[in-house]
Structure 1
Amino acid sequence: MTVLISNPPTEKFSHPEVTAKGETRAQVAYTGTKTLWFNTGTLCNIECVNCYIESSPTNDRLVYLKFSDVTPYLDELDAAGEGGIEIGITGGEPFMAPEIIDIMEAVLQRGHTLLVLTNAMQPMMRPRVQDGLKRLQAEFGPQITMRVSLDHYTAGKHDEERGAGSFELSQKGIQWLGEQGFNIAIAGRTMWHEAEADARVGYDGMLKALGVELDVNDPTALVLFPEMEEQADPPEITVSCWGILNKDPADIMCASQRMVVRRKGASSATVLACTLIPYDDAFEMGVTLEEARRDVPLNHPFCASFCVLGGGSCSA
Structure 2
Amino acid sequence: MEADALPQEKFSDPLWTAKGERRASVPLARLETLWFNTGTLCNLACVNCYIESSPTNDALVYISRDHVLRYLSEIADKAIATREIGFTGGEPFMNPEFVPMLTDTLERGFEALVLSNAMKPMRRHEAALLELKERFGNKLTIRVSLDHYTEKAHEAERGARSWGPGTDGLKWLSDNNFSIAVAGRMLPGETMEQARAGYAGLFAAMNIRIDASDPMQLVLFPEMDEHKDIAEITTECWGILDKNPADIMCATSRMVVHRKGEESPRVAACTLIPYDDGFDMGATLEEASRDVALNHPHCARFCVLGGASCSA
TM-score, normalised via structure 1 length: 0.96
- Say if 1:217 and 1:109 are closer, same or farther in 2 by CA, change over 3 A: same
Counterpart in the other structure of 2:97? 99
**3-state SS of the aligned residue for 1:123?**
helix
Partners of 2:82 and 2:32 in 1: CA distance = 10
After TM superposition, give the deviation of residue 161 of structure 1 in Å: 0.6
Mean CA deviation greater in 185-194 or 105-114: 185-194
After TM superposition, give the deviation of residue 291 of structure 1 in Å: 0.6
- Say if 1:224 and 1:5 are closer, same or farther in 2 by CA, change over 3 A: farther
Aligned length: 311
Out of 214, 222, 239, which is 1:243 matched to?
Answer: 239
Partners of 2:181 and 2:31 in 1: CA distance = 22
After TM superposition, give the deviation of residue 192 of structure 1 in Å: 3.4
Mean CA deviation greater in 35-44 or 217-226: 217-226
The answer to whether residue 8 in structure 2 is matched with residue 32 in structure 1 is no
Partners of 2:60 and 2:224 in 1: CA distance = 20
Partners of 1:82 and 1:26 in 2: CA distance = 26
After TM superposition, give the deviation of residue 230 of structure 1 in Å: 3.1
Counterpart in the other structure of 1:301? 297
For 1:190, give the aligned amino acid. M
Counterpart in the other structure of 2:257? 261
Counterpart in the other structure of 1:56? 54
The answer to whether residue 111 in structure 2 is matched with residue 113 in structure 1 is yes
Counterpart in the other structure of 2:169? 173
Partners of 1:106 and 1:5 in 2: CA distance = 53
Mean CA deviation greater in 224-233 or 163-172: 224-233
Give the conservation status (yes or no) of the 8 Å contact 1:30–1:255.
yes
The answer to whether residue 198 in structure 2 is matched with residue 198 in structure 1 is no
**3-state SS of the aligned residue for 1:124?**
helix
> Could you list the runs of 5+ residues in structure 1 that have no partner in the other structure?
none
Deviations 1:17-54 (A, max 9, x none): 00000000001111120110000000000101111100
Counterpart in the other structure of 1:289? 285
For 2:203, give the aligned amino acid. L
Partners of 1:239 and 1:104 in 2: CA distance = 39
For 2:30, give the aligned amino acid. G
Partners of 1:287 and 1:310 in 2: CA distance = 29
**3-state SS of the aligned residue for 2:303?**
helix
Alignment of 1:270-285 (within 5 A): 270-285=266-281
After TM superposition, give the deviation of residue 5 of structure 1 in Å: 5.0
- Say if 1:179 and 1:173 are closer, same or farther in 2 by CA, change over 3 A: same
Partners of 1:16 and 1:210 in 2: CA distance = 48
Counterpart in the other structure of 2:45? 47
The answer to whether residue 300 in structure 2 is matched with residue 310 in structure 1 is no
> Could you list the runs of 5+ residues in structure 2 that have no partner in the other structure?
none
The answer to whether residue 23 in structure 2 is matched with residue 22 in structure 1 is no
Partners of 1:228 and 1:281 in 2: CA distance = 23
Partners of 2:217 and 2:176 in 1: CA distance = 18
The answer to whether residue 219 in structure 2 is matched with residue 223 in structure 1 is yes
After TM superposition, give the deviation of residue 276 of structure 1 in Å: 0.4
Give the conservation status (yes or no) of the 8 Å contact 2:39–2:91.
yes
Identical-residue share of aligned pairs (%): 57
Deviations 1:94-153 (A, max 9, x none): 010001110111111111111100000111111xx1111111111011101110000100
Give the conservation status (yes or no) of the 8 Å contact 2:31–2:81.
no
Deviations 1:157-194 (A, max 9, x none): 00011111111111100011112210110000123321
TM-score, normalised via structure 2 length: 0.97
After TM superposition, give the deviation of residue 205 of structure 1 in Å: 1.4
Mean CA deviation greater in 301-310 or 260-269: 260-269
